Structure 1
């Protein structure tokens, strides 16, 4: 069914190959954008799973000064907190991070105001060149969670805002790019590992985005990078 939707499938045999392959794909897409337009716009996911990929990406030789980087989503915490996705990127992209043009989502005003501020800044970045998504076992992607009152609206390519303030399942505040930003990307990548997430993905093909947000992205031009084994 994924093939019928125009979704590409890339499967790798090991977590190391998964990280390296994803990094090569992202680096190639950034080079293409740099060659075409002189700059590249990239949105990355946080969490534990992307760490080997981030480390592999930082090893690629690119004109990093012309790469604009933001997050797909962020916890509403400052970058000195352990759960901060910005802190994660700074640590694992350390060899190149200070050369990038960085756009944080967290600003420290309030979740709602930070969403407005980040959205205004990212308006100049549209369309994005590359987005790397992840997926939770509940089918959420970015910080777009099942059952949120506005999740159907936020998942749409025509969502009014580029960035929204949301709540995670534990009611902690988050900031997330919306479908308006995420669907704009020329290259849309989803990285998942393990049998459990594969089954969630398969189930998402038959579910509504409001109940399983990743379902909103299971169509061309999405490219899924899958590894049967988790790191």
Structure 2
């Protein structure tokens, strides 16, 4: 597995943003459009700011989320809210965005609408950026959820799954493993020693139900991007 290790989060943010921009430019050159799938949380916010200022043809880029909490878009827990505030600004404001939270009251009722919207996202994804929780979850594929086996099932034809974690609040909408694996470039973006230790633990084992990120690491050519 390739690992890109940086001296600081600031160095990571700048160089990783430049790398992503280059991959998106490559996708645009090859097919006329490019897709970027991002994750929520605090970790990517600084990198998003750097990326938003990159000088590429953002009008040909489609951005979407690996997962979303089923909360109003005005809620601070909304990944879309964070992405709109930190990434879909500056030059990147010209990009198209495909959100996951839709008009369905329940996440389970929103899956079909998400699957329909998926058709507007160029696949395979040009860039997929995943995070990872301390419990080894990635996207919203949580080890504690009843829906995990369905999310990890590569024969599941749905692009999305509604998930209810038992160790975290809110129903979620998540890309399934099958959808996540359809990416040209997959990165796991982590910051801090504790996350590095969890990642090494994931690499050392095989049980995907214990640490769902193992399913991505096992099936896909993934690169770790990390800074202390």
* TM-score after normalising by structure 2: 0.92
1:215 alignment counterpart: 214
Cα gap change, 1:24/1:8 in structure 2, threshold over 3 Å: closer, same or farther?
same
User: By how many angstroms is 1:97 displaced?
Assistant: 4.7
Mapped pair 1:56 → 2:47 = no
Matching residue within 109, 115, 120 for 2:111: 115
User: How far off is 1:43 after superposition?
Assistant: 0.7
Structure 1 segments, 4+ long, off by >4 Å, are none
Q: Is the 8 A contact 1:153 1:159 kept in 2?
A: yes
**Could you give the per-residue CA deviations for residues 161-191 of structure 1, whole angstroms, max 9, x where no partner exists?**
1011111323521111111221001100110
1:56 partner SS: helix
The residue that corresponds to 1:192 in the other structure is 190
What does 1:1-231 align with in structure 2 at a 5 Å threshold? 7-93=1-87, 94-109=89-104, 110-125=106-121, 126-168=123-165, 169-205=167-203, 206-219=205-218, 220-227=220-227, 229=228
Write the deviation string for residues 182-211 of structure 1: whole angstroms up to 9, x where unpaired: 100110011011221111111112141111
Secondary structure of 1:22's match? helix
What is the TM-score when the length of structure 1 is the normalising length? 0.91
Are 2:160 and 2:174, in contact at CA under 8 Å, matched by a contact in 1? yes
- CA 154–123 in structure 1, closer or farther in 2 if over 3 Å, else same: farther
Question: Residue 61 and residue 163 in structure 1: after superposition, are their counterparts in 2 closer, same or farther (change >3 A)?
Answer: same
Structure 1 residue 149: Cα displacement? 2.4
Measured at CA, do residues 127 and 157 of structure 1 come closer, stay the same or move farther in structure 2, by a change above 3 Å?
farther
Question: Are residues 26 and 14 of structure 1, via their aligned partners in 2, closer, same or farther at CA, if it must alter by over 3 Å?
Answer: same
How far off is 1:123 after superposition?
3.5
Contact 1:70 1:103 in 2 (8 A): yes
Unaligned runs of 5+ in 1: 1-6
Secondary structure of 2:94's aligned partner:
coil
Aligned-partner Cα distance in 2 for 1:102–1:84: 14
* Residue 98 (structure 1) shift: 3.6
Structure 2: 5+ residue stretches without partners: none
Q: Deviations over 1:42-91 (max 9, x none)?
A: 11001111110100100101111110111011111121111111111111
